[in-house]
Structure 1
Amino acid sequence: MKIKAPSQLQKKIIITLGILLVARLGIFIPLPGIDHDTWNNHLTQNGLLNFLNLFAGGGFTTIGIFALGIVPYINASIVIQLLTKVIPKLENLQKEEGELGRQQINQITRYITVLWAILQSLGITFWLKPYVFNWNIYFILDCILTLTTGSIIIMWFSEVITEYGIGNGASLLIFQNIVSGLPKTLQNYQINFNNSANIISLFILTIFFLFILISTITIQEGKRKISIVSAKQLSKTSKLSPQSYIPLKINQGGVMPIIFASAAIALPPYLLQATNNSILQRILVLFIPSSLLYLPLYCLLIISFSYFYSSLILNPIDIAKNLKKMGASIPGIRPGIDTTKYLNYILNKLTFLGAIFLFIIALIPPCISIITNNKSFQGFGATSLLILVGVAIDTAKQIQTYIISQQYDNMME
């Protein structure tokens, strides 16, 4: 019997699943010399560490060799995005040098990842000091070297998945880490079906969960189509082609604004516990979850990060210049400065709407907890759901595109 060889798509899926499995196993290989029981008790009481633990897939619980996960690589990518806007040489590499320029930027990103991993592992090492059996220079070096090496391996895994597998490697590693934490989250839900109040709570949770899921998909895929027309089109017909448009997403920054806003809002409670300064404590108390300024600050952070990421991803000046080069324009809008102003106006409105949506989604889990009087419902984090939906949609699109291209190649043959 002849065994059919796996297709190219099957090979990509096997490579992706294999790397994700190895990356997951590495989290459960703990660093020696640490009192893990005491550390776990401390972790449950620290909001900031719990937030970081979400993206590490529980790596901070075990302090495994892959505890840092993909976080240093993501931070390095963000730093490069910022530097590209500030340093003309990097901007020139990205825009003018083509593939060679992108490779050089990727190499710089790797160097920053290593530096970031060293700094982050150093901070974790000193954070672990009260929970280490034998604190000395050998433990410090061993911990820094192990965590940094683990982060470099994860970075390499993400690049291998992106190049030889299916989907974006960094996104899939975060996706895996969040999914791995769902069973533990569901253990907190104790629903007694003999109690009508618990059944109502479960019904409310299901309705809100479906609402979040549907609205998240709608907003993630929502676009504002800005029609464009070229001189060539006008010479042939007076009608605009429905396929000629600039797609502007409602939520340009994706999940990044809410991720950074959630991380920033988790700092005041942590700093409140860490400081003994009475003046600083009075200020920090104003921004803890039970205070009046907590929600306004959270909303302001989400809006600020949304505008920041929108400015990184899309530059109306560049779009206006490219349209002018192509001999295209927006109907009713003059090329040049007027086009830039118009695109800025549209982008500002879309960014504000996307930021408000993120804020509303972030508020739903606490609201469910208040309505049902069940604090465990806060486990369904908006950040996690947004990431899961976004990564799932992007990966599914890549698979669909690859299948269509394979069918096209077979037809051509």
Structure 2
Amino acid sequence: MLSAFANAFKTPELRRKMLFVLGILVLFRLGSTVPAPGINVPNVQRCVDLASSGDNSSLFALINVFSGGALLQLTVFALGIMPYITASIILQLLVVVIPRLEALKKEGQSGQAKITQYTRYLTLGLAVLQATGIVALARSGQLFGGIDCGALLYNEDSILSFLLIVLTMVAGTSMIMWFGELITDRGVGNGMSLLIFTQVVATFPGAMWQIRQQNGWTTFTIVCLVGLVVVAGVIFIEQAQRRIPVQYAKRMVGRRMFGGSSTYIPLKVNQAGIIPVIFASSLMYLPALAAQFNQDKPWAQWINDNFVRGDHPLYMATFVVLIVFFAYFYVSITFNPEEIADNMKKYGGFIPGIRAGRPTQDYLAYVLSRITAPGATYLALISLIPMIAVAVLGASQNFPFGGTTILIIVGVGLDTVKQIESQLQQRNYEGFLR
């Protein structure tokens, strides 16, 4: 692997791309440490320290992971990549519902460019809403769950100061989108995925060291060993797939013979990826968000007791049910057995032992349903690991080995390494995974 890494830097074009990506990521992390104008940095830092050292569970703990800790620091890039992720997911769902968007998707590259433009507009709209909510919570002192550290904004009563902070955070989101597109066009790998990877990895060392400080070296060592096992299991499942064989019949086109080849349809065990976990986490935070603005209501107290801390059994059970539901839902809208069966029939393809047409569609739907069950169970178990750690070890809420953290690190890492490997193989070098 080290020789493959050296070969990647020996290739001028690949070296230039990798250094370009590294430079963008450095700028990205720099923007995540620069506070927005009008933020009382000493008071904010005092609140962050108290929230991380105590048992307080921040309402925005998940989003803070995606922002690399920038959200609770109220920096220029405080919103991170979350508005773009949410907008992309919404557009993917709307493509199935709105005929106009479905027609654009079928137009190819031009239609996809139009959908991308809609995603940008929706991202900015969501960024305005999220920035306004976050700054409003900081202004009222509720951003850190009621911890009193003094005023978080210098001019709390000034509307202009409020709007300036919101505008700065929205501009930071626009800059992040531009960074992601630059990496995709001129670098290696998917730009948005690498930005998410960078923000998640940025919180990893701090979370590990916090476990060491709270629980000692013995627990720290056990967590590291368990983490290695979890990472190995995630890699195994992420690479696992069911290959459905497909045979193409021979046919004459003019004077030439086509077809007669064999291939397969790869169905991943985790066909939905990390999307169900993000969907479920977002929904689980909606009741807590509503309760945050209605602290004096009885139902708000019930929500605070049962749906704020991740170690509560009712929270865990609801979280698992939502992940399984969204896994089946997302797979059903992204994988269309009817369309695949029609395309196979059109080009003379068939699954051995299965008739073309409706029987092929039913068979693909049956296999997809069976393979989604272990995939959804796997996502639920991985997502429960940090919650179990909180309940058993008393570890921090941002337990590093589990949930969205480990899925993003492993998933994006594998995809990026595969892309580098494919470019190395084009130049007759051995890849990383050989």
> TM-score, normalization: structure 2?
0.83
Deviation of 1:141 (Å): 2.3
Aligned equivalent of 1:156, options 159, 164, 178:
178
Number of the residue aligned with 1:384: 405
Number of the residue aligned with 1:334: 355
Aligned equivalent of 1:212, options 230, 235, 239:
230
Deviation of 1:161 (Å): 0.2
Instruction: Give me the identity figure in percent.
Output: 39
Deviation of 1:104 (Å): 1.5
Number of the residue aligned with 2:130: 120
Deviation of 1:73 (Å): 1.5
CA distance change for structure 1 residues 312 and 11 in 2, over 3 Å: closer, same or farther?
farther
Matched residue SS, 2:75 = coil
Residue identity in the other structure for 2:69: G
Residues 1:55 and 2:77 are matched in the alignment: no
Q: 1: CA distance between counterparts of 2:406 and 2:19?
A: 25
Deviation of 1:279 (Å): 3.7
Number of the residue aligned with 2:115: 105
Deviation of 1:259 (Å): 2.5
Q: Deviations over 1:310-343 (max 9, x none)?
A: 1232111211111111111122222222222221
Q: 2: CA distance between counterparts of 1:176 and 1:246?
A: 32
How many residues align? The count is 392
Residue identity in the other structure for 2:116: N
Aligned equivalent of 1:172, options 190, 194, 198:
194
Number of the residue aligned with 1:254: 273
Q: Deviations over 1:114-171 (max 9, x none)?
A: 2222222222232222332213221122122211111111101000101110111011
Number of the residue aligned with 1:84: 95
CA distance change for structure 1 residues 255 and 290 in 2, over 3 Å: closer, same or farther?
closer
Q: 1: CA distance between counterparts of 2:355 and 2:69?
A: 54
Residues 21-36 of structure 1 aligned to structure 2 (within 5 Å): 21-36=26-41
Number of the residue aligned with 1:137: 159
Matched residue SS, 1:150 = helix
Q: 2: CA distance between counterparts of 1:191 and 1:386?
A: 25
Residues 1:324 and 2:348 are matched in the alignment: no
Residue identity in the other structure for 1:82: L
Aligned equivalent of 2:395, options 369, 375, 381:
375
CA distance change for structure 1 residues 123 and 279 in 2, over 3 Å: closer, same or farther?
closer
CA distance change for structure 1 residues 6 and 338 in 2, over 3 Å: closer, same or farther?
closer
Number of the residue aligned with 1:230: 248
Aligned equivalent of 2:426, options 390, 405, 408:
405
Q: 1: CA distance between counterparts of 2:62 and 2:16?
A: 34
Residue identity in the other structure for 2:130: Q
> TM-score, normalization: structure 1?
0.87
Number of the residue aligned with 1:295: 316
Aligned equivalent of 2:105, options 73, 78, 94:
94
Number of the residue aligned with 1:411: none
The alignment's C-alpha RMSD in Å is: 2.7
Contact kept in structure 2, 1:205 and 1:368, CA below 8 Å? no
Residue identity in the other structure for 1:319: I
Decide which moves more: 142-151 or 262-271: 262-271
Residue identity in the other structure for 1:264: L
Q: 2: CA distance between counterparts of 1:404 and 1:5?
A: 14
Q: 2: CA distance between counterparts of 1:107 and 1:76?
A: 11
Residue identity in the other structure for 2:189: G
Contact kept in structure 2, 1:231 and 1:327, CA below 8 Å? yes
| Gap regions ≥5 residues in structure 2 | 1-8, 141-151, 252-259, 430-434
Residue identity in the other structure for 2:395: K
Q: 1: CA distance between counterparts of 2:244 and 2:305?
A: 46
CA distance change for structure 1 residues 207 and 368 in 2, over 3 Å: closer, same or farther?
farther
CA distance change for structure 1 residues 405 and 149 in 2, over 3 Å: closer, same or farther?
same
Residue identity in the other structure for 1:152: S
CA distance change for structure 1 residues 345 and 69 in 2, over 3 Å: closer, same or farther?
same
Q: 1: CA distance between counterparts of 2:65 and 2:198?
A: 10
CA distance change for structure 1 residues 385 and 65 in 2, over 3 Å: closer, same or farther?
same
Q: 2: CA distance between counterparts of 1:142 and 1:21?
A: 25
Q: 1: CA distance between counterparts of 2:168 and 2:45?
A: 20
Deviation of 1:377 (Å): 9.0
Q: 1: CA distance between counterparts of 2:159 and 2:306?
A: 40
Q: 2: CA distance between counterparts of 1:378 and 1:76?
A: 24
Q: 2: CA distance between counterparts of 1:73 and 1:365?
A: 25
Matched residue SS, 2:250 = helix
Number of the residue aligned with 2:297: 277
Deviation of 1:27 (Å): 1.2
Q: 2: CA distance between counterparts of 1:283 and 1:56?
A: 26
Q: 2: CA distance between counterparts of 1:74 and 1:218?
A: 26
Deviation of 1:207 (Å): 3.4
Q: Deviations over 1:180-204 (max 9, x none)?
A: 1122112213379xxxx96654453
